[in-house]
Chain A
Amino acid sequence: MAPVKAFLGWPLVRQVMGADRLGRGHAAMSERSRGLAPRTTDADEVVDSICPYCAVGCAQKVFVKDGAVTQIEGSPASPISRGRLCPKGSASKQLVTSPTRVTKVRYRRPFGTDWEDLELDTAIDMIADRVIKTRKQFWEWEADGKRTRRTLGIASLGGATLDNEENYLMKKLYTAMGAIQIENQARI
């Protein structure tokens, strides 16, 4: 900024020269304030989503800049929520950007006293082995002379915050492996 311009931009000068003689308004506005804009205006993307908390199903707009979430707020278009969110829905950005979120696999070996690191790929492979082993160990073709074709050795709990597509694949896979003790929050 050229020195003269800078001088003219001083609040006191603006004040004396302008209509805002007491320097309480226009004249007091700083450069930052003058250039202020909502941080969402330069979002790379605005993505439509749904709140993950209760079952009202409020619509959310997720603002993304440089691959990171910069704001989550209600989407006014929804006939159910009309843009509104409760405190939990309003805290959604904190939910997804929480610094205490665990983003690495944690592993506790039998009788272990602390967590250990484990590669995701290794973890999934180990889990697959354990499913196969436990399934076989507790396999049951019959109970009381009637065909059951199942395992009672493996159980699952969860699903009420998951997507329909996820629940579908879970039930499909579990059913094919013969696991029947598949439950979720709906029972709890």
Chain B
Amino acid sequence: MPGLGTSFGRGGATTNLMDLQNSDCIVIQGSNMAEAHPVGFQWVVEATRRGATVIHVDPRFTRTSALADVHVPIRAGSDIAFLGALVNHVLSNDLDFREYVVAYTNAAAIIGEEFRDTEDLAGLFSGYDAESGSYDPESWQYVNAPQAPAAGQRDPAQPGGPHEERHRAARSETAGSGGPAVSAKPERDETLQHPRCVFQILKRHFARYTPEMVEQVCGVAPEQFAKVADALTSNSGRERTSAFCYAVGWTHHSVGVQKIRTASILQTLLGNIGRPGGGIMALRGHASIQGSTDIPTLFNILPGYLPMPHAHEHENLDDYVAGDAGSTGFWGNMRDYAVSLLKSYWGDAATADNDFCFDYLPRLTGNHGTYETVKGQIEGRCKGYFVVGENPTVGSGNGKMQRLGMANLDWLVVRDMQLIESATFWKDGPEIETGELATAEIGTEVFFLPAASHVEKAGSFTQTQRMLQWRDKAVEPPGDCQSELDFYHELGVRIRRKLAGSADEMDRPLLDLVWDYPRDEHGDVDGQAVLREINGTGPDGAALSSYTELKSDGSTACGCWIYCGVYADEVNQARRRKPHWEQDQVAAEWGWVWPANRRILYNRASAAPDGTPWSERKKYVWWDPEAGSWTGADVPDFIADRPPDHVPEDGATGPDALGGQDPFIMQTDGKAWLYVPVGLADGPMPTHYEPAESPVPNPLYPGQQGNPAIENIKTASNPMNPSLSEVFPFVFTSYRLTEHHTAGGMSRTLPYLSELQPEPFCEVSPGLARERGLEHLGWATIVTARTAIEARVLVTDRLRSLRLGDRTIEQVGLPYHWGPNGIVRGDAPNDLVGLALDPNVHIQDKVGTCDIRPGRRPRGPALTAYVADYRRRAGVVDPEEDS
């Protein structure tokens, strides 16, 4: 996540689940950890056994709240206001960990005179272009820092408007490992008094985030806010540490990245990063969602967070490296990583003479994210589609858009274990019932290929704390079932065979591809051989042990530089399974963690600037002067022999430019970023904006309602509810339950899980039930501009009517697991979701506005008429006419 990446240098959780037991205070916000990650939650319970305070900030009282010391009900989508007020509380009461802040953060850095804050521009930062709805971040930079092309700036001017493409290329995600590049270290004022130093700018920026504002925006009473503020600040410092846990409650928002940024600022000010019991635990939702970002199936990045090249700036490898590598810190070695990747892709064909086949890489020209792609499908620009272990017609936002896209393809390949809705949309999708689509008129050719389960193939997942764990194969897959490894390998073999002999230049990348993998003892493509290729090999063909061994001369190959070391000593390190009772608490010999098996990131910061532990109680990694190296419980996340008092020479580059007190080694300046001068599309500091659909005006910045850099998906099937609409007066928020798994393909199909949560339901407060005449266990119809769905009603005190100043806000809770297929069925709540995206990561809001009425929804064509009437009454604008 760029929220973490731009703040600290790597986009992964800074800590691990087990380390939560060392926390003195745990704030869970944007996550329902006990329900979505029950086994991980054992470490929160361990912490409470040791006396920790657990705070759950969430719109609903959940199973997590039930075990927390404090539950703070908050209006969905208002997290930045709440966290921002905590930042303000810390800054205005001098509660920050000053020594940590001065030494390890960019608080002292001085920002250029051109910068204007939201304070000056009524909710906008300088550099905003209203026509394109995007920012030029040039004025956000450090003073006197030569302007390196970076982040949004990396897209040069396009025909049709200077910034048109800028926010669309999603470059911020490249901060997954390696913070965004600034080309030099900033000027600093370590007294933190300079009016343009980050610390002072931050102070001014957050000054309006007061407890009173929190009450008005979030519906949280000042006493409750104070409780959280006191718990957090009294449990941070030399002797104590606090941790934050978040999940998609933060990421699924049009300001998702900035929510994580606000928590990052707070945790950095409190000195909680890089220390035991501290950190930010990003809770991923799928077995390998971290892995599928590290080794991405994402449009804008290559393995190891190397950016996909961009057509307008990366004509060759030099441009590419120059454009993205900072000159200092470990990202300064980007050329080594890039060349090694090209060597692993194209082997002997990649030589210094041909730029290591850099030209073989396809180029981006903007946002090619999944929702933009679906729009392309609807518009006939994308005709072939692989859906692999995903169920977008239930799991993605705006299911109708997904189905309309699929109905307009030439061919669709669905690989899954069960006949999920995405495979059967042409037969029984909701649009067949309404008459919007007709089976006999859908020209899409559909291949359903049965997939192997996790026990029927060998391979590694990367879990939520960046740990790779290997699974052995237990049994053969039944029938035609096949792993992705075997399928894609075979597909590649056949495509290459069919194209063999082609002289067409467009086929060279396929024909030159390194694509010969050995078979294992089961006759499958040998996953360990693939993992070894990912790990990388040296000039002698032996597996490498560390990314520091990578070279840019073509002598090394490495499929994902951050995973280099996972096959060190020719051993599958991800397969290590030394029982925890034979190890210390860090358990370094179980699995393998990127980078370099470091379990807590930035752990140099667990020691004071002089290299001694901050306290005996929070001792973790420290400088051993006699040995002349860093030592401790974990692998030091630092150059092992660089002493704390090391000052780099002027003009040093790459890792040589890191000083002894620069714990954030992937950042160009070695510091945690309280203020992000480059790398984000919607501002250097977080700002509270209302969700794209909100029932209330933005009291923090009247006149600036939503994220000014928001990305809209303009297609007829994605109309948005107008903000402040009386027709859509309630807030809905969608979420998971323990008993089911995301879009349900792996849970609605199982009797033992289906019986535990057998039917779609919505949760409402007694107040809303009264207001709308909803009966417990009766039916309700929930409506947005996209569609209407029905669900059974649970009236519960766990949902509260929230008081925001003089008005009351009601929220509708919607677990989203169900769809028309499976053992237990119903309407899919994600069909309600409208798409307006975070400009950094192109992820949509999981909250929106809606109406709710008692009774079942209309059937057939009457449903479309019913929703059309709502749109008319609410004055919904046709997205295609709205420009």
Q: Footprint of B on A, CB under 8 Å?
A: 45, 47-59, 62, 64, 67-69, 72, 75-82, 84-92, 94-96, 98, 100-111, 113-115, 118, 120, 123-132, 134, 136-139, 141, 143-144, 146-173, 175-188
Contacts and interface: CB of A to CB of B under 8 A. Distances in A.
Interface string B456-497: 110111111101111111111011111111011111101100
B469 A106 contact: no
12 contacts: A72-B455, A87-B38, A90-B752, A92-B455, A134-B383, A163-B291, A171-B297, A177-B509, A178-B509, A184-B297, A186-B289, A188-B390
A55 B292 contact: no
Contacts of A105: 447-450, 480
Contacts of B370: 155, 157, 181, 183, 187-188
Contacts of B581: 77
B108 interface: no
Interface in B424-449: 426-427, 439-449
Contact of A86 (B39, B484, B587): B39
B825 to A, nearest CB: 13
Contacts of A103: 450, 478-481
B296 interface: yes
B527 A163 contact: yes
B132 interface: no
Nearest to B43: A80
B629 interface: no
A32 B444 CA distance: 57
Contacts of B16: 80
A62 B455 contact: yes
Interface stretch (B123-131, B187-195, B412-420, B540-548): B412-420
Interface stretch (B90-98, B298-306, B645-653, B711-719): B298-306
A20 B292 CA distance: 62
A113 B482 CA distance: 26
A123 B480 CA distance: 11
Given A82-B580, A148-B365, A186 B293 contact: yes
B302 A175 contact: yes
Interface stretch (B217-225, B307-315, B602-610, B873-881): B307-315
Interface stretch (B99-107, B741-749, B857-865): B741-749
Most B Cβ at <10 Å: residue of A78, A115, A141, A159: A159
Instruction: Give the 8 A-B CB pairs with smallest separation, nearest first.
Output: A163-B459, A57-B463, A158-B388, A103-B479, A150-B362, A79-B580, A79-B587, A55-B284
Contact of B286 (A91, A150, A160): A160
Most A Cβ at <10 Å: residue of B473, B492, B577: B492
Contacts of A90: 752
Contact of B382 (A129, A152, A175): A152
Given A155-B376, A172-B513, A175-B345, 6 more contacts: A55-B37, A92-B455, A98-B418, A163-B483, A164-B288, A171-B296
A98 B290 contact: no
Interface stretch (B144-152, B392-400, B660-668, B681-689): B392-400
Contact of A185 (B285, B441, B459): B285
Given A48-B471, A80-B17, A113-B440, A55 B283 contact: yes
A115 B360 CA distance: 39
B843 interface: yes
B382 A155 contact: yes
Interface in B516-565: 527, 530-531, 533-534, 559-560, 563
Nearest to A119: B480
A106 B423 contact: yes
Given A105-B447, A158-B297, A164 B287 contact: no
B878 to A, nearest CB: 25
Contacts of B476: 67
Contact of A144 (B18, B158, B360): B158
A108 B573 CA distance: 43
A178 to B, nearest CB: 4
A160 B287 contact: yes
B18 A79 contact: yes
Contacts of A166: 459, 483-485, 488
B866 interface: no
Contacts of B455: 47, 49, 62, 69, 72, 92, 96
Contacts of A179: 362
Nearest to A52: B454
Interface residues of B, number: 165
A101 B481 CA distance: 10
B387 A158 contact: yes
Contacts of B484: 162-163, 166, 169-170
B612 interface: no
A173 B559 CA distance: 13
Contacts of B40: 54, 56, 80
B520 to A, nearest CB: 11
B579 interface: yes
Given A55-B287, A94-B750, A160 B292 contact: yes
A150 B418 contact: no
B385 interface: yes
A54 B465 CA distance: 12
B627 interface: no
A77 B577 contact: yes
A156 B513 contact: no
Contact of A148 (B311, B456, B580, B752): B311
A127 B286 contact: no
A42 B387 CA distance: 39
A150 B509 CA distance: 11
A43 to B, nearest CB: 10
Contact of B312 (A64, A102, A146, A184): A146
A143 B415 CA distance: 32
Contacts of B285: 54-55, 160, 185
Nearest to A153: B383
Contact of B410 (A53, A130, A159): A130
Interface in B236-276: none
B360 A176 contact: yes
B669 interface: no
Contacts of A120: 449, 480, 482
A4 B596 CA distance: 70
Contact of A158 (B159, B415, B449): B415
B773 interface: no
A185 B460 contact: no
Contacts of A188: 370, 390, 392, 395-397, 843
A129 to B, nearest CB: 7
Contacts of A170: 297, 388, 484, 488
Contact of A176 (B426, B468, B470, B509): B509
Contacts of B807: none
Contacts of A82: 42, 580
Nearest to A178: B362
Contacts of B728: none
Contact of B159 (A69, A144, A162, A169): A144
A186 B1 CA distance: 9
Given A163-B527, A171-B303, A185-B286, A104 B450 contact: yes
A107 B360 contact: no
A185 B395 contact: yes
A164 B396 contact: no
A121 to B, nearest CB: 9
A95 to B, nearest CB: 6
B42 A84 contact: yes
B297 A137 contact: no
A130 B413 CA distance: 11
Nearest to A161: B389
Contacts of B18: 79-80
Contacts of A152: 368, 376, 381-382
B469 A144 contact: no
Nearest to A158: B388
A173 B39 contact: no
Contacts of A164: 288, 291, 294-295, 459-462, 468, 531, 534, 563
